[in-house]
């Protein structure tokens, strides 16, 4: 007796997820990577178009680039790093959160050190007098 393959509800599968026993070997993964590549390339081209084209209002360009950068990060997380809301990606989410914490600590610590150095440094005219 052969067991029928379980039917997958498309609403229950996130982009980039490759359910076990679904499709031919490597088929869902390759399609997910191609979709991610097209989306990432499209967002990159759009960001260059926004900065070079005269279509957008100048003060809105930094905001548009920030939105496109966040969208690009989302595409990379879902399609290439396979960070989804499924139970299988809990370790990936924890590793990502730890990486973000380390980057935040490095940036915040560097800014704190630079602000402290700036506060404790002598004014330039006093430094120039000491060199004479």
- Over the chain (132 residues), the average pLDDT of each successive run of 10 is 61 60 54 93 95 87 94 91 82 89 97 94 88 83
CA distances to 9, 35, 39, 65, 70 from 43, rounded to whole Å, are 29, 12, 6, 10, 10
pTM beyond 0.75? no
């Amino acid at each position: 007796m052969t067991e029928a393959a379980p039917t997958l509800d498309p609403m229950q599968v996130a982009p980039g997820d490759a359910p076990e026993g679904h499709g031919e070997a490597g088929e869902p993964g390759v399609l997910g990577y191609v979709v991610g590549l097209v989306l990432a390339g499209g967002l990159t081209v759009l960001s260059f178009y926004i900065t070079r084209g005269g279509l957008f209002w100048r003060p809105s360009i930094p905001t548009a680039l920030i939105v496109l950068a966040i969208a690009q990060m989302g595409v990379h997380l879902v399609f290439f790093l396979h960070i989804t809301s499924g139970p299988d990606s809990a370790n990936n989410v924890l590793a990502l959160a730890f990486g973000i914490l380390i980057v935040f600590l490095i940036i915040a610590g560097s800014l704190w050190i630079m602000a402290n150095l700036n506060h404790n440094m002598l004014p330039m005219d006093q430094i120039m007098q000491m060199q004479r």
